[in-house]
Amino acid sequence: MNLLLTSLFLLFFFFFFFFFQSYSVLSLRMLEADPCGPTSHRDPRTLRSDQITILINGFSESRIPLLQSITAAYSASPIVSAVLVLWGNPSTSAQTLEELAHNLTLSSFGSAAISLFRQPSSSLNARFLPRPTVETRAVLICDDDVEIDSKSFAFAFRIWGANPDRLIGFFARSHDFDLSRKEWIYTVHPDRYSIVLTKSMILKTEYLFQYSCGGGAAMHRMREIVDRMRNCEDILMNFVVGDEVNAGPILVGAERARDWGDARNDKDDIDDGRRGLMGEVAQVGLSSRRGEHRKRRGECIREFHRVMGKMPLRYSYGKVVNSVGEQGLCQKGRKLVFCDQ
Ligand SMILES: *[C@@H]1O[C@H](CO)[C@@H](O)[C@H](O)[C@H]1NC(C)=O
């Protein structure tokens, strides 16, 4: 009898020991069941605005070293509250992810925590899912192969602070209306832009909820278009925010912006970064793949426009740059002027 009790006790002990151990080793967190439920949407007044949360997309295992160095740099920044790595590659093994989660924890020692989340699906919409762990009013959405120097990042965050309802980005594109074909297209203009890319974009945390959970049936259909096209989630976010604020995004110039993009990530036709808003046009000698890409992005714009029944994208002019005096300067035409002029 005594022996039976003892062995039962041992059995339970081992069961709980292994259960909890595997539980804690598995520090990869899954998203809550309902990303649009009441717990996922926090009152913005309870969120802090002196710091920002980084939501970085991870996909390629070969780029893990780069991902680690980028996340470590963000986590060391005093304006960063937390770094969330959103792993979107469903074929990565659980073991690799556990290892990565462990490595990331080590590299965030002493600064903002870095945590890893496996995305619930491979849908591109998932990068905008609201996350209850976000404690800041702003998030930076970025790719795992884009590096922005820390001064320019801090400057962009200050620009957001002065314009909290706008989208702030480092890479810009345009929509336009092709008069001969009578249709909306995706393009680059030398002097204006209406879309900032998710390569690196700062936005209000509330917009994640608006994108993922708001907008009723029309928004649902537009998210389906993103899934069908496997592209254009960034364009749709620009539609959502443009519709909300009736203003275009704000392009910030980075001192150093490096885009390591590989073929999978080559979502866009031109690599801009530190080159001027104007300087990039020369590169638009389109290869057929890039032309194809641009066509698909144009198709997205036309589909979103059709579903929404209007064109909410708005043009912005000039690029905000961090001048010596730390005052925002805007490039207008060929001149630099103070942005509030
Ligand atoms: C984790 O770090 C170890 C030691 O630096 C390294 O050998 C391993 O490849 C890393 N694994 C992942 C998935 O990052």
- Model pLDDT for residues 313-336, shown as the tens digit of each residue: 999 999 998 875 445 566 666 666
Q: Is residue 2 part of a domain?
A: no
Predicted local distance difference test score (pLDDT) of residue 38: 80
- For the CA of 64, the closest atom of ligand 1 is 14
Q: What is the pLDDT of residue 300?
A: 98
Provide the pLDDT for residue 265: 39
> How far apart are alpha carbons 75 and 61 in whole angstroms?
21
Backbone φ and ψ of 77, nearest 5°:
-80, 135
Q: Which pLDDT belongs to residue 10?
A: 57
CB 55 within 8 Å of CB 237 = no
Give the pLDDT of residue 339.
62
Q: Which residue, judged by its Cα, is nearest atom 12 of ligand 1?
A: 100
User: What pLDDT is stored for residue 324 in this prediction?
Assistant: 54
Domain span at residue 183 reads: 30-308
Whole-number pLDDT of residue 107: 85
The residue behind tokens 């959103």 is 86
Q: Tell me the CA–centroid distance for residue 99 and ligand 1, in Å.
A: 6
Structure-block tokens of residue 319: 């690029």
Domain count, the chain: 1
CATH number at residue 199: 3.90.550.10
- pLDDT for 140: 98
Tokens found for residue 121: 């699906």
Does 59 fall in a domain? yes
Among protein residues, the one with the nearest Cα to ligand 1's atom 3 is 103
Query: In the prediction, which pLDDT does 2 show?
Result: 63
68 alpha carbon to ligand 1 midpoint, in Å?
Answer: 10
Please list the pLDDT of the chain residue by residue as tens digits (341 residues). Answer: 566 666 665 555 555 444 444 443 334 555 456 889 887 778 888 999 999 999 999 999 999 999 999 999 999 999 999 999 999 999 999 999 999 999 999 888 778 999 999 998 889 999 999 999 999 999 999 999 899 999 999 999 999 999 999 999 999 999 999 999 999 999 999 999 999 999 999 999 999 999 999 999 999 999 999 999 999 999 999 999 999 999 999 999 988 877 776 333 344 434 443 334 433 433 444 467 778 899 999 999 999 999 999 999 999 999 998 875 445 566 666 666 666 55
Distance CA 44, CA 9 (A): 48
Q: Is 318 left (phi over 0), alpha (psi -120 to 50) or beta?
A: left
Residues contacting residue 42 through CB under 8 Å, at least 6 positions apart: 132, 134
**For position 328, what pLDDT does the model report?**
58
Q: In this structure, is residue 105 part of a structural domain?
A: yes
> Which residues' Cβ are closer than 6 Å to ligand 1?
64, 96, 99-100, 103
| H helix count then E strand count, the chain | 8, 17
Which runs of consecutive H residues, i.e. helices, occur in the chain? 2-25, 64-75, 94-107, 150-162, 206-213, 216-229, 233-245, 288-308
Mutate to test the pocket of ligand 1, among 66, 69, 103 (most ligand atoms within 8 A of CB): 103
**SS3 category, 204:** strand
Residue pair 203/270 in contact by the 8 Å Cβ criterion = no
In a domain, 257, yes or no: yes
